[in-house]
A and B are shown apart, each in its own frame.
Chain A
Amino acid sequence: MTIQGIVFLVLFLAVLAVFGLIVRLLYRILRAAKPENRFDRWGDRIKAVLVYVCAQARVLAKPAGLGHFVIFWGFIFITIGTLDHMLGQVIPGFGLERIVGRRLGSAFILLQDVFGILVIGALAVAAVRRFVQKPERLKIDDPAAPRQAALILALIFVLILFMYGLKGTEILEGSARLTKTNAPVSFSVAEMMRGWHMNVPLANDVFSWGHNLVIFFFLLFIPFSKHIHILGAIPNVFFRNLGRPGSLSHMNFEDESAEKFGVSELGDFTWKQTMDLCACTECGRCQVACPAHATQKPLSPFRVIHRLRAQLMRDKGGLLAKGSDVLKPAPLIPETVSEDEIWACTTCGACMQECPTFIEHVQKIVDLRRFLVLTESRFPAEIQPVFKNMEVNYNPWAIGYSSRADWAAGLGVPLASEKRSFDVLFWVGCSGSFDQRAQKVSRSVVRLMQMAGIDFAILGTEEMCCGETARRMGNEYLAQTQIQANIETLKKYKFNRIVTACPHGLNTFLVEYPQFGLSVPVVHHSEFLLGLLSKDALKARRIETLRGAYHDSCYLGRYNGVIREPRALLSRAARHVAEFGRRGRSSFCCGAGGGRMWMEETLGSRINEDRARELLGLGVDHVFTACPFCLTMFEDALKTLGREDVHALDIAEVLLEACSQ
């Protein structure tokens, strides 16, 4: 081995050792975190890595993602080339082609050679985006973040220059493995360098060492920048939530001596939640999709993740102390995450839908809410009467529970307690029972069921709030009380499925009641009514004068994938259904989710008005909704905007009209 080789080996091992220590520390951080089971369905997990890491499916969902795709694969090919080169410095005569064969080795060289140029192109685009265009989604309130990004872009650029330099000098020295066909770019570089009349062996050494040093720096710098995602993203995709995204974790209240509930410091997160922090690429797609951010509220999902990771990097020190296996206990609220941020979230899940590395933001926000509500009893003042109303009258409004079924008076709606056994349980929900506007929707659903001759019943005053709102407001204790009481009631009756006109109830029955031991088929009224139409149990005549746009509810479309059904139903009832730009899984929240329905919206502009303006831009005179919250939010916004000529209708109301003419 040459002296250079020895120096390289010593440095390489040293850097590798430090890097190993850093990785070990990260591993210890995860080990110290709370447990969470993500070790099931290995096949699906491997598939997720193939689709979302190798094929970069979510990254490519936005045009700028192509740049990442190129850099990602370029990085992989170049890294293999780098290893080849590094090992060649230590083991004389080592070469990739000796292992994989001449032909494959040659193909590899070609890939490196071509990707080098492509990466430079992608870097140029990235630099223009970041420093010239400055799109909204890359905006972050940490001034160090763009500097880091610039440094990384510059380093990758330099790395590739060194790579070409290295290969160019190798060609000048008369390389056997590099040819015009497998290294065209390097050949051009060599031609260019030939004219410089330089000391070729020396230049080769300089490029080799430059290359080495950049790689060394990378290894040591990566864990302390957003490029930690190189380490975190792949396992994060592997351990992604494979279930429905709309479920929140179940809290166990059996330990009556517990003094703390929810998350107040980093050590309270599970290992997967902690891994999330290391997976953020700061692409900012969540920020652009976030309704709170779009309406100038302090919340931006990726800024929260960014600050949490910064604190993780600061507080990891606690783990290094002798005998310590926990993170330094430091509060997250209010410095790292403010209460305004925590309460601004509508839990709409747009951030999670957008995230290329499957970070789960909503659970974290709710965990912080859980701490504030359960442990500290600290929350915006207007929430307290909501909790109290839910406790006393089982609905968020201050209306006596005994009037829960008043909306159905005179409609001949049977009660479950009278029928005991029936086909469909119509879960009316709090809005459908108490909100005057939503009551009309409940009546429409009932009329349609009666037209179709469905054997159904409602729980009447036995029905309680489903618990969805309390859960998302962080009041898990109240939510569980409601859920358990409802399950007891539901168990008394025999029925085949639940039909509900509320996506929040739908979601909670689908993904949350099973956590408490009740799994019952539940469908949204759009699915159910479409089924009745398909079976000719209902006959609709299209209303030729009705023109409107369909608004996807977050908990229906994004969380539960019911996107086609409401549209199919509407196409048979209305003449013209327009589409929002933001629709389907990328729909924009009405502003009412996550308990925001019952909170003042004092910060920034109003989410429902943002959405209503988008509607007005479509030039239709109706918006069709499939969620009582969306219905209320649209009506309020249209009133505030002085556009009472535009009306909000639930799909059931439209269908009833179409079936009645």
Chain B
Amino acid sequence: MKILALLKRVPDTEAKILINQEGTGIKDEGIKYVINTYDEYAVEEGLRLKEKTGGTSTVTVVCAGPEEATELIRTALAMGADDAVHVCDKALERPDPFVIAAVLAKAIKAEGFDIIFCGKQAIDDDMGQIQSILAEMLDIPQVNVATAFELAADAKRATVRRRVEGGDEKVETSLPVIVSCEKGLNDPRYASLPGIMKAKKKEIRKKTLADLGFAQAPGDARSTILRWLPPQKSSGCTMVKAEETRDAVKELVRLLREEAKVV
């Protein structure tokens, strides 16, 4: 069984995000990048499926992203994925989801697959579109926001539990299928040291757009980001600071009376 897991490089959730001067993106300094959290569930689910099906099953990581994504791909390989396809091309800087999906679709078709796992969304831009566009382009069913996955005994169908408003939905799907993963699906493993050592020797197939057969830009972007704007500073709350609680209370009362005019 050929299992694919899609992976995106995103800023760490704890990183302090600042928008660059031109407003075209975020400042890179001081930012640590990690595997998109939901993609970790995808890699883990792929590995679990591989372990369950055994035999000739393989997990291939597919990533479209900058050169620096390599170390994160290695992390996924250290977790136990067998190999990876890394589409890395200057032309892919700040693309829209449609373009990325078109690129991934090419790479995935060339690779072949029985099942694709991916995150339900990337935690940076929160678009959550890739899985649906991909399903369309590959002409396969999609099941989104999966919290449980079970392959049928004949390996031709799968039962997926997905989170919906107010409850869970159980979906049966045929294979091949793309499943987008939600928190709770599994607990991604921590790579063992032998895993890390082995990952250094595993193959990452680097592809440019030309390698994938794109003569020029891979399809039209369906959207363009004009400008990034920082969130408006909310008036927020004022911390009343004072050494003694008594003074703090006095100051609070003054603020409520004179500034907020509520008492």
Contact = CB atoms under 8 A, between A and B. Distances in A.
A402 B191 CA distance: 25
A399 B13 CA distance: 9
B250 interface: no
B32 A375 contact: no
Interface string B1-27: 000000000001111100000000000
B192 A377 contact: yes
B30 A461 contact: yes
A181 interface: no
A393 B196 contact: no
B193 A392 contact: no
B194 A258 contact: yes
Given A393-B14, A393-B32, A376 B197 contact: no
A403 interface: yes
Interface string B158-202: 000000000000000000000000000001011111111100110
A370 to B, nearest CB: 9
Contacts of A261: 193-194
A400 B34 contact: no
Contacts of A403: 16
Given A381-B187, A392-B34, A400 B193 contact: no
Interface in A4-44: none
Interface in B115-150: none
A374 interface: yes
A384 B192 CA distance: 12
Interface in A371-407: 374-377, 379, 381, 384, 387-388, 392-393, 398-403
A392 B32 contact: yes
A260 interface: yes
Interface in B189-218: 189-197, 200-201
A256 B200 contact: yes
Interface in A260-305: 260-261
Contact of B32 (A374, A401, A477): A401
A63 to B, nearest CB: 47
Contacts of A387: 190
B187 A400 contact: no
Contacts of A381: 187
Q: Which of A256, A258, A377, A381 has the largest number of chain B CB atoms within 10 A? A: A377
- Count chain A CB atoms within 10 A of each CB in B16, B193, B201 and give the residue with the most: B193
Contacts of A399: 14
Given A381-B187, A392-B32, A402-B30, A477 B14 contact: no
B194 A400 contact: no
A94 interface: no
A580 to B, nearest CB: 31
A465 to B, nearest CB: 14
Contacts of B14: 392-393, 398-401
Contacts of A392: 12, 14, 32, 34
A376 B12 contact: no
A375 B12 CA distance: 27
A400 B16 contact: yes
A259 B194 contact: yes
B34 A253 contact: no
Contact of A258 (B16, B31, B197): B197
B15 A400 contact: yes
A602 interface: no
A257 interface: yes
Given A256-B200, A402-B30, A477 B193 contact: yes
Nearest to B15: A400
A207 B200 CA distance: 73
Contacts of A253: 193, 197
A477 B16 contact: no
A103 to B, nearest CB: 67
Interface string A403-445: 1000000000000000000000000000000000000000000
A257 B194 CA distance: 8
B12 A393 contact: yes
Contact of B196 (A379, A384, A477): A477
B230 to A, nearest CB: 17
A401 B29 CA distance: 12
A384 B40 CA distance: 14
B191 A377 contact: yes
Contacts of B201: 256
Contacts of A400: 12, 14-16, 30, 32
A488 B12 CA distance: 24
Contacts of A401: 14, 30, 32
A392 B32 CA distance: 7
A375 B192 contact: yes
Contacts of B189: 377
Contact of A375 (B31, B34, B187, B193): B193
A277 to B, nearest CB: 26
Contacts of B15: 400, 402
A220 to B, nearest CB: 44
Contacts of A258: 193-194, 197
A384 B190 CA distance: 7
A260 B32 CA distance: 30
Contacts of B13: 398
Contacts of B187: 381, 384
Contacts of B192: 374-377
Contacts of B193: 253, 258, 261, 374-375, 477
A642 to B, nearest CB: 19
CB-CB nearest 7 A-B residue pairs: A402-B30, A400-B14, A374-B193, A377-B192, A256-B197, A377-B190, A384-B190
29 contacts: A253-B193, A256-B197, A256-B201, A257-B197, A258-B193, A259-B194, A261-B194, A375-B192, A375-B193, A376-B192, A377-B192, A379-B190, A388-B190, A392-B14, A393-B12, A393-B14, A393-B32, A398-B14, A399-B14, A400-B12, A400-B14, A400-B15, A401-B14, A401-B30, A401-B32, A402-B30, A461-B30, A477-B193, A477-B196
Given A392-B34, A400-B12, A400-B14, 18 more contacts: A256-B197, A257-B197, A258-B193, A259-B194, A260-B194, A261-B194, A375-B192, A377-B191, A377-B192, A379-B190, A387-B190, A398-B14, A399-B14, A400-B15, A400-B16, A400-B32, A403-B16, A477-B193
Interface of B: 12-16, 30-32, 34, 187, 189-197, 200-201
Interface of A: 253, 256-261, 374-377, 379, 381, 384, 387-388, 392-393, 398-403, 461, 477
